[in-house]
Structure formats: structure tokens, C-alpha cells
Structure 1
Amino acid sequence: MEPTDLHPTDLQLARQALRDDSAFEALVRRHAAGVHRLAAGMVGPGAADDVVQEVFIAVHRGLKGFRGEAAFSTWLHRITLNACHRAIKGKGHPTVSLSDTAEPTAPHDPVRAGEQADLRARLAQALHTLPQDQREAVSLRELSGLDYAEIAAITGAELGTVKSRINRGRAALRDHLTKVGIVP
């Protein structure tokens, strides 16, 4: 058995998913956490589950048109950003509630859990103060861990523009967080 049979690439799974639901399920398992992380950063944790569902419905419907010219992850991130933008436009400015934040696993420290939930909420709110292009770039870099070239491919922006957006976005986040009493 070939190593690629044991660990198929995204492109192999995408092609196989056209005729095999288990291949699509493997793609979802492989990418769901990253899509959720990006969505939570863009629309807030409360709306992220709906965005993730919308993303994978769109991916399933769009697999026939995926030619593999770009990386699957690039295509998936673009679909995720589009779904996030629709969620933001459809519901107005998202709000982040402490009740939307999952509690940490044991050992449970209620004080620390509350502090972490508050910090996550403030970070999410701070992200939403950024212009859309900076929020996208910072989220793709910090939440999805993508490199600058991947972000450029997803957003269609030049590499220098991506770097500039990330730098400006980080500076604006730092200023915003400092103003609300959080030392980054």
C-alpha cells in the first residue's frame, strides 16, 4: 500500500469525495477545527458553529468545480471568509457573550476560567474593530497559522499588502487592548 493511501492528500480526498461520502467526512474531520477557529475569530464563538456548517455545505456543493489549481486549504479558507462575511452582514455586528465561551477541562479553576473567557471575549471584540481586510489577514495568520504567501493567495492581495495589513492590524489591536486595560 502506498503512503498516500494511508494518508491521502486533500486533493485526493476532494476527488474521491465526489463519489465517496467517507472521503468527504475525512476532509471535514481534517479541517473542521481550523475552520471553526477562523470563524470564531471573525464572527465570534456564538456564530462560528453556523458558519462551519455553511462552509462544509458549500464545500460539498462546490467539489465538482474544484479543479485543484490552488491548494484545497486555500479554497477552503476563501469559502470560510466568504461565509464569515455573509454572517456579519446578515446579523449586523456580532456580539460575544461570556456564555458562548467553552469552559476549560479539569482541573477547573473558576477564577481562571472566568478571566480566560473575559480575555477571549475582549480579543474577539478587538478583532471586530479592525477593518475587514486587516481582520481577515490577522485572523488567517494568527488563528489559522497561515504564512504570508498563503494569505496572499486566499485574499488575492500582493504579499507586501498582506504584510502591511497584518502589521497595521496587530498595531491597532495592541492600541485597542491597551486602551481597555489589557497589556498585550
Structure 2
Amino acid sequence: MSDALSQLDDAALAKLAVRDDHAFEALVNRHAAGVHRLAANTVGSGAADDVVQEVFIAVHKGLKGFRGEAQFSTWLHRITLNACYKALQARQNIPFEDVLEPPAPHSPVRSSEQADIRDRLAAALQSLPQEQREAVTLREISGLDYAEIAAVTGAELGTVKSRINRGRAALREWLTQAGLKP
């Protein structure tokens, strides 16, 4: 990414990306990791690459219509979630072992323990209602603040806070019953 493009904020870069492939590439480079992380935690790591590709195709097609009334990242998260739901509908079954990316293993025993925890956490996330899972994932995985989550989901701020609180409580209970200390 050139220095000039890297200095631009997302809104300016998005305007420029309508007609400049280098600006679009800069947007992709800036946001691809976050989109992939959200996709991997929603549809599984095996399907995340396909979702990321669909997201950036949709972004490229939709840039002309992006008016900048919302933050680019909010618009991008909504596109990502829509692509994730489309992939989930096409697949119907999510293998729990693919939901979370494992950290680099340090030992075979630790790797096995991490895989077990990852499987349990994935199952716990899947047990949540969609609205709670979406809110918790956007908060804990994507790192969005409550106002950004409200903008992405179209829910009121209080509703977002409630969904996250209920989702966290349900995750804590599920994980405790599964023998883990959250």
C-alpha cells in the first residue's frame, strides 16, 4: 500500500476506490484480516476464505452506492454478516471444530487441550440465539463497541447491551456445565 493511500481514512479511500484499483486494494489490505476473523468465527475457518472473497466482491460492486452516512467499517461488517448467513444457509451444518482458529500449538498435549476448548466454545456459541451470537461475536471477536454493533445490526443500543449481557451469561453457564471455568 502506498504511503499516500495508507494515510487516507476509510471514507476517503472508499470514494477513491470507486475508480482506482490501488485504493480498493488498500481497503482490502486494511480490512481483510478482520473480515476473515469474523467470517471464521461465524462460518468456520474452512469456509471463511470463500466468504471473504464474496464480501470484497460485494464491496467492490457496492462502493458506488456507499454514501458514507455510516462508517465504512459498519457497512463492511453488515456485508460480512450477510455473506456469512448466506454461506450458513447454503451449508446448513457448521462443523464446530472449524469455528475458531486455533493458536499455534506448543505441544501435542496443549494442542489437544486447545482443540477441546475450541470445540466446546464453538458449541457454546452455536447454542446462542442468532441475535445474541451476532452481538457477542461482533463485540468479542471483531472488537466493535456497542454503538458500532447497534449500527451494524440495526438494533437499539440498549438491545445490543442486553443481547451481549444475556449471551455472555448463557456462554458462561454453558461452559461451566461443560466443565470449563470461563
Q: TM-score, normalised by structure 1?
A: 0.90
State the aligned residue count: 179
In structure 2, do the counterparts of structure 1 residues 101 and 138 end up closer, same or farther at CA, with 3 Å as the change threshold?
closer
Is the CA contact 2:35–2:77 (under 8 Å) kept in the aligned structure 1?
Answer: yes
Partner of 1:135: 133
Moved more, 148-157 or 89-98: 89-98
Aligned mates of 1:8, 1:15 — CA distance in 2? 11
**Secondary structure of the structure 2 residue equivalent to 1:117:** helix
Equivalent of residue 154 in structure 2, options 153, 156, 177: 156
The letter of the residue matching 1:125 is A
RMSD of Structure 2 on Structure 1 (CA): 1.9
Structure 2, gaps ≥5 residues long: none
The letter of the residue matching 1:130 is L
Is the CA contact 1:101–1:117 (under 8 Å) kept in the aligned structure 2?
Answer: no
**Secondary structure of the structure 2 residue equivalent to 1:97:** helix
Deviation at 1:174, TM superposition (A): 1.0
Q: TM-score, normalised by structure 2?
A: 0.90
- The percent identity for this pair of structures is 69
Structure 1, gaps ≥5 residues long: none
Aligned counterparts, 1:68-147, within 5 A? 68-97=68-97, 101=101, 104=104, 108-147=106-145
The letter of the residue matching 1:74 is T
Post-superposition Cα deviations, 1:71-122, rounded to whole Å, max 9, x if no partner, equal 0000000001111111111110311336x855617xx422222222322232
| Structure 1 segments (4+ residues) deviating >2 Å | 3-6, 100-103
Is the CA contact 2:128–2:170 (under 8 Å) kept in the aligned structure 1?
Answer: yes
Deviation at 1:138, TM superposition (A): 0.3
